[in-house]
Structure 1
Amino acid sequence: MMFDKSAQSGRECPAPLRDLHVAVIMDGNGRWAQNRGWPRLVGHRKGAEQVRKLVEVCPELGIRYLTLYAFSTENWKRSTEEVLGLMSLFARYIRREAGRMKREGVRLRFIGDRSRLDDDLQALIQWIETETAGNDRVHLSVALNYGGRDEIARASRAMARDVAAGKLDADEINDNVLSRYLDTRDLPDPDLVVRTSGEFRVSNFLLWQAAYAEYVFTPTLWPDFSPKTMENILKDFSLRERRFGGVKV
């Protein structure tokens, strides 16, 4: 596999790896903090810093689409203190990074069920999505109150309503039609899914979209996950043979 050099940074980038969609299950923030005797929220704040660093280097690494699993439909089971702290962190991230994202061509969107989020956070999400809608250099999607099963259930209900209203013929429903009802309707399917912290689970993340994605499970806790870590993962990914159900000729 040949690698070229970025003229701006000198970072190696696999030549064929362009316009990649990489999805990341960001795991290990709480353990990272607890290992140091700190509150779990300190780990989440450190994790948010790593998000900024990774987004900055996405163009150099050939990543055009980056989807991050930030808060699942099951994470409401955590302590009230941690949940409220996370929601506050999401709001601060949007406000703090808005200017940078607009300048650097980052389009930010959120996937997941927003109905359980408070009104202020919903309004902030709508604002940043509108502000960055014209950007196309990096597409950053944050999965917030997201679950793959919940997403498919919501899509199924929407299709059922359209069938009942005569807008959709039930006999025409196939995988392409269902995909148009998902939160990710405007995104390509992920090429690569990365999970940090040494866990070997997909945890209800992009169950439909990742049907043919490659997976990498790394022991690195998310606050220690650097752009160099992602670069090494992509080098390994570039050597994989993706056959999408076919056979090598």
Structure 2
Amino acid sequence: MNQVIETMLNHRSIRKFEDKPLTKSQIEQIVASAQSASTSSYIQAYSIIGVTDIEKKEKLAELSGNQSYVAENSIFLVFCADLFRHELAGKMEEKDVIPSLESTEKFMVALIDASLAAQNAALAAESMGLGICFIGGIRNHLSEVKKLLKTPERVLPLFGIAIGYPAKVTDKKPRLPMSNVYFENEYEQDEGKLIADLEKYNEVISNYYHERTKGKRKDRWTEQMANMLEKQSRMYMKEFVQENKLDLK
């Protein structure tokens, strides 16, 4: 097994960091790695905002559901879908690019580009011995996040990554069985087989929580998912995206 694969397979979310800053060189390497990710048609439809100001991080922590590790880290990177510069490109070249920018396709391109860049950044950070934690909680109150980060129209903060030196390393969570996520040539539609695999996974996850919490938790994965999805959250997102001139058609 090579070192890159070993790093990926060793991933776990870190939620407690040492009080130690990153060097400028470390940050530049992480961002350069993010920029090296694949991008659809060279469009590079994303931006990264590195938040080091403690007051801004504390506000982001509050907006994310009072998650302390959003503030207590070396740097908090916010990944944004970004089609603002492409509007500028249209103005510079005197071309009408607005219909394309306001299409669902370009919105999807921006989401995918940002996600690919973020995964590269995460892998780069972990390869440097740093810990990371993805934070989707910034989408709880996006209007306030946009004001805090001063993002213009056509720029949508998607998620953050807390990065720093791990102060506590937790056990790695078992992932779904490969037979539930990898299919050859066509989608597996045998619900009985999929459910049987999920039942086995439920047992694995229940045992994981039981051991990790010394018997305080033993919830199953399907139980977690059903309980979470039963509660509607961030249902304002479609309207908010449209208000910011993304995904209108």
User: Rg bigger for which structure?
Assistant: 2
TM-score (norm 2): 0.22
Report the structure, 1 or 2, having the larger strand content. 1
TM-score (norm 1): 0.22
